Amino acid sequence: MGTIPFGPRQQAAKWKPALLSFRPSRYIGFIALAAVVGATWLFSDLWYGGALRGISKRAIAGPSITVVDGDTLRIGGESYRLVGLDTPETGRNAKCESERTCGEAATQRLREIVAGGSLNLERVSCACRSGSEGTSACNHGRLCGVLKAQGRDVAEILISEGLARRYNCGAASCPPRGSWCG
């Protein structure tokens, strides 16, 4: 019973249990790859404060940041709408000259704050329909975040300087924006 016949001559082969034929050297590449993937996942989860769970916190630096307007930043190809505030529109989106002027002042002030450094962006959930975050159906494709400069909430800075209004959204929708004209 210890042999298994095969082939035309009925040659005998010894039967070996699978466990006895296991050789770790055959799997060293797979083990190394699994270790690298696991370490990468653990490092990124710790570094970004839970980015793999959908919420991230990260320090950001100058050249990678573009100030779009008083409440919008572009960082590394992603746009972020700062939450907790509403600033006047700029350019063609402004409904009157006073809104345009104030919007440009808010944009310039945000540029100054960003240039000052020591920034930390915390990504937060947007007040949008489930599954629409990051698409044009939610916030014009922008993600949402809280920006802190030197430990202070940028929304509070702009509000205290009269360049923005407090603007708080609910879980799935935002209130209508007020007029900046007259």
Over range 155-182, report the average pLDDT. Answer: 89
Which range of residues forms the domain containing residue 95?
55-167
Over range 49-74, report the average pLDDT. Answer: 67
Mean of the per-residue pLDDT values of the chain: 77
Burial 40-57 (b: 16+ CB within 10 A, else e): eeeeeeeeeeeeeeeebb
Neighbouring residues of 48: CB distance < 8 A, sequence distance ≥ 6 = 56, 57, 58
**Gap between the Cα atoms of 82 and 39, Å rounded:** 32
Is the per-residue pLDDT at 53 higher than 80? no
Question: What's the CATH number where 116 sits?
Answer: 2.40.50.90
Start-to-end C-alpha separation, the chain: 98
Phi, psi for 141 (deg, rounded to 5): 85, 5
Which neighbouring-strand residues pair with 124?
144
The count of domains in the chain is 1
Over range 155-178, report the average pLDDT. Answer: 89
Is the per-residue pLDDT at 143 higher than 60? yes
User: What tokens does 149 get?
Assistant: 């400069």
**Gap between the Cα atoms of 133 and 79, Å rounded:** 12
Query: What is the model's pLDDT at position 95?
Result: 93
Q: Report if residue 136 sits inside a domain.
A: yes
Query: What is the model's pLDDT at position 43?
Result: 44
Query: What is the model's pLDDT at position 29?
Result: 64
**Gap between the Cα atoms of 36 and 31, Å rounded:** 9
Q: Report if residue 109 sits inside a domain.
A: yes
